[in-house]
Amino acid sequence: MQNLTVRDVMTVFNCVLVGGGAVPQVAPGLTCLAEARRCVTRFYHIKSHPAEIQHVHTDERPVFHGDHADADPELRLLARTHEPRRIEPPP
């Protein structure tokens, strides 16, 4: 038989109390760790598989530079209004 003092009993009681309070704190950490692992897996999956919308092999859209005689009048007007302007340096 072991002689237990009040000090020994209170020490064990406090250890069990503090340890019992720390046990529930483990579950949220493990949940966040599992979620982080899922997010990283998804990130690398997205990174390694290019999107289908980016698979444009040939761009057949017409490019309008300046005044085109065969262009739609609205497109010619748009091309004329959006021409780059020259900025002269100050004298």
Let me know if residue 82 belongs to a domain. no
Let me know if residue 41 belongs to a domain. yes
Let me know if residue 58 belongs to a domain. no
Domains held by the chain: number: 1
Let me know if residue 78 belongs to a domain. no
pLDDT value, residue 61: 63
Top-confidence residue, 4 or 88: 4
pLDDT tens digits for range 2-47: 888 999 999 999 999 999 888 888 888 899 999 999 999 999 988 8
Domain encompassing residue 23? 1-49
pLDDT value, residue 34: 92
Q: Is the model's pLDDT at 60 over the cut of 90?
A: no
Among candidate residues 69, 60, 66, 70, the one with its CA nearest the CA of residue 78: 66
Let me know if residue 67 belongs to a domain. no
pLDDT value, residue 3: 87
Let me know if residue 25 belongs to a domain. yes
